[in-house]
Each structure stands twice: as C-alpha cells, then as structure tokens.
C-alpha cells in the first residue's frame, strides 16, 4: 500500500513539474500602455509566453493562420515571420531565428515567446524583475492609417512598400505588385476585418465596407490599388 502511494505521488509531482507555470502577475506594456491579454502569460525555459495573435496585432502586424500546417505568418513593414506549433525556430524573411522556447497550443490559443517575436519586429524588450513586468518599446505609433481615414490601415506601411502614385484627394493609392511580400494581400484582409470591416471578394480584388466607408483593394495590370470611397 505504501509503495502504491509513493508511485501515485511521483506521478502527480511529475505532472505538476511538466505543466506550464501560468502567472497572472506578469504584466506586458507596449510603449508604456498595458496590453490586455485574453489569457495570462506563462513561463517556459525562462521565456515569457504570450498569446500569439494578441502580441502580433498589438505591435501592428497582420496575422494569418494555416490550419493544415499549424503554421502562423505575421506581416509588418515588409518583415515576414513564420512559425509552427512545437517549432523551436521561426523564420524571419526566410532566415531561421531561435525562439528559446517552442510555440505551443494552450487553452485553444497559440503561445509564442514574447521577446523573440517582439525583437523580430524591431522592438526593444526590457524585463523588470521587481514588478514582474515586460516593457516593449516600439519606435512608432501603432497602427498606421491613411491620412484623413483613421479607421483604414495603411496597406503600404503594413507591407513595407511606398506607393508609386497617390491621388490629389488622397483616396487612391497605387503600389507596384512586384514589390509586395507574398502574404501582403491576405495580411491586409486580416487587419481590415479586425477593424470591423466586412469583406466581399471579387476575382482580383476585395471590397471592404464599414459604416459609411468602402475600401477596394486588389490587383489590376500588375499594380495593387487601394481606393477609399466615402458614401
């Protein structure tokens, strides 16, 4: 009986030891603004793990998820990050970068190491052990929108490209299709829908509508156009 009790206790302790150390005491700040997370961060290999979509979108990146490959792609300013559940590396513009702790699925959310993904997007990360806080500093205002239309994300800023043409009333923006990253169009859709726009897909374009605003985004003659139309 005593032997069986020892075995049971050993199993229980091994389960506890292998479980992630969730910590509601860890706070995350971006440019001194506290980031509200759907679930508490946890520690893995001394790395602070946070919900992937929350951190990427808070830093102004568009996120795309592939259910078939269990792979996520984040896009911002021409930087493309791909990572996979269980993977110990991510790929930043095709180059392998160590994560320090593998991306993991917990409570139906994908978690990633905060420092690794933040630094990949050009941010500075500082840990304050006394307060249990992580401070992320980004040298820009997040997110970037088109002039005069604060609800419409700037496609060029997300894709890291400059327009080759802007109309005089700043409602038409044209970009070279050859200069765009692979996931630029789908990434833009993720950002637009997260802002509350409804998407209607055409053959080579998508029309986004919200309130009294319509935004057409798509390819024509090798160029990518964003046309903003109030109505």
pLDDT at 225: 97
| Per-residue model confidence (pLDDT) at position 15 | 38
* 105 backbone dihedrals φ, ψ, rounded to 5°: -100, 115
Q: What is the pLDDT of residue 140?
A: 62
Instruction: Classify residue 11: in a domain, yes or no.
Output: no
Looking at the domain assignment, is residue 119 inside a domain? yes
Q: Is residue 16 part of a domain?
A: no
Residue ending a domain, among 79, 102, 137, is 137
- Parent domain of 121: 21-137
| Residue 4 forms part of a structural domain | no
Is the pLDDT reported for residue 209 higher than 80?
yes
User: Would you say residue 211 has pLDDT above 90?
Assistant: no
Band of the pLDDT at 80, cuts 50, 70, 90? very high
Reported as a pLDDT band with limits 50, 70 and 90, residue 139 is: low
Q: For 159-206, what is each residue's pLDDT tens digit?
A: 888 999 999 888 999 999 998 988 899 889 988 987 789 999 999 999
Does 95 lie in the same domain as 25? yes
What is residue 136's predicted lDDT score, i.e. its pLDDT?
Answer: 92
In-domain check, residue 10: no
Average pLDDT of span 139-143: 58
212 and 194 belong to one structural domain: yes
Percentage of the residues of the chain whose pLDDT score is greater than 90 = 51
On whether both 99 and 174 belong to a single domain, the answer is: no
Give the total number of structural domains in the chain. Answer: 2
**What DSSP state is assigned to residue 143?**
S
Q: Quote the CA–CA distance of 125 and 29 in Å, as a whole number.
A: 10
Give the domain CATH number at 49.
3.30.457.10
- Of 137, 169, 188, the position where a domain reaches its end is 137
Question: How many CA within 13 A on the CB side of residue 223?
Answer: 13
Whether residues 129 and 179 share a domain: the answer is: no
Residues 121 and 153 in one domain: no
- pLDDT at position 170, please? 87
Rounded Cα distance between 84 and 93, Å, is: 15
Report yes or no on 156 lying in a domain.
Answer: yes
Query: Two tokens at 119?
Result: 């630094």
Q: Which long-range contacts (CB under 8 A, 24 or more apart) does 50-53 make?
A: 50/111, 50/112, 50/114, 51/109, 51/110, 51/111, 52/103, 52/109, 52/110, 52/111, 52/112, 52/117, 53/109, 53/110
122 and 160, same domain (yes or no): no
Region 39-64: mean pLDDT is 91
Whether 12 is covered by a domain: the verdict is no
Judgement on whether residues 62 and 154 belong to the same structural domain of the protein: no
Q: What is the mean pLDDT of residues 93-113?
A: 93
Residue 147 has a pLDDT of: 81
Q: Are 80 and 182 in contact (CB under 8 A)?
A: yes
Cis peptide before 143 (omega within 30 of 0): yes
End residue of a domain, out of 78, 108, 137: 137
Average pLDDT taken over every residue of the chain:
85
Does pLDDT of 74 surpass 60? yes
Instruction: Say yes or no: 126 and 217 in one domain.
Output: no
Distance CA 209, CA 164 (A): 25
């Amino acid at each position: 009986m005593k032997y069986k009790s020892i075995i049971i206790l050993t199993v229980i302790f091994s389960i506890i030891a292998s479980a992630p150390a969730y910590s509601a005491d860890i706070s995350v700040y971006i440019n001194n603004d506290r980031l509200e997370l759907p679930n508490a961060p946890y520690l893995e290999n001394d790395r602070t793990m946070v919900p992937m979509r929350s951190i990427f979108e808070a830093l102004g990146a568009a996120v795309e998820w592939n259910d078939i490959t269990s792979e996520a792609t984040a896009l911002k300013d021409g930087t493309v990050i791909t990572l996979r559940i269980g993977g110990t590396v991510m790929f930043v513009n095709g180059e392998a970068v160590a994560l320090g702790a593998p991306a993991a699925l917990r409570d139906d959310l994908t978690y990633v190491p905060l420092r690794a993904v933040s630094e990949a997007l050009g941010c500075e990360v500082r840990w304050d052990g006394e307060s249990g806080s992580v401070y992320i500093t980004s040298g820009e205002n997040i997110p970037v929108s088109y002039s005069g239309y604060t609800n419409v994300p700037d496609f060029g800023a997300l894709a890291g490209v400059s327009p080759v043409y802007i109309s005089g009333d700043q409602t038409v923006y044209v970009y070279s299709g050859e200069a765009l990253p692979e996931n630029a169009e789908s990434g833009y859709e993720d950002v637009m829908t997260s802002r509350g726009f409804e998407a209607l897909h055409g053959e080579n374009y998508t029309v986004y509508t919200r309130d009294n605003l319509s935004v057409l985004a798509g390819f024509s003659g090798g160029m990518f156009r964003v046309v903003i139309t109030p109505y």
